[in-house]
């Protein structure tokens, strides 16, 4: 399968998220708007790194030890990653599928 707009990451992530939102609104009603709003607030990896470094620096300035500050900032980073999955599950699903397809990690789903 060639790389085209219909098998690109942007299109498929959107389609997966829409399918999940439609299914959840059918079963749970009203959760779709909450998921849509939360998905807009998803933090990128670079923002997560900047946030973790800033948090660590602020903790160190308040007298928290290096070990404790590192542990807290890494835990917060993991929570942000976990939140990122729940806010945009289509992105995580696409990344998994892209790792397993014919041309791994190229940003397109090329089938199995």
Averaged pLDDT in 10-residue chunks for the chain of 112 residues? 88 86 67 56 61 80 82 74 71 90 92 82
- Give the chain's length: 112
pLDDT of residue 60: 82
pLDDT of residue 11: 92
pLDDT of residue 52: 74
> φ and ψ at 40, to 5 degrees?
-70, -25
pLDDT of residue 106: 93
Shortest CA distance to 53 belongs to which of 82, 76, 79? Answer: 76
pLDDT of residue 109: 93
Whole-number Å distance between alpha carbons of 75 and 67: 12
Strand, coil or helix: what is 73? Answer: helix
Q: Please, which residues bridge with residue 8 across strands?
A: 108
pLDDT of residue 73: 74
């Amino acid at each position: 399968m060639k790389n085209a707009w219909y098998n690109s990451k942007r299109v498929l992530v959107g389609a997966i998220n829409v399918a999940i939102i439609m299914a959840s609104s059918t079963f749970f009603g009203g959760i779709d708007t909450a998921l849509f709003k939360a998905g807009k607030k998803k933090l990128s990896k670079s923002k997560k790194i900047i946030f973790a470094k800033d948090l660590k620096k602020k903790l160190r300035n308040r007298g928290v030890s290096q070990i404790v500050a590192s542990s807290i900032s890494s835990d917060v980073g993991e929570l942000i990653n976990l939140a990122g999955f729940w806010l945009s599950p289509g992105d995580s699903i696409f990344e998994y599928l892209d790792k397993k397809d014919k041309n791994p990690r190229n940003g397109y789903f090329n089938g199995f």
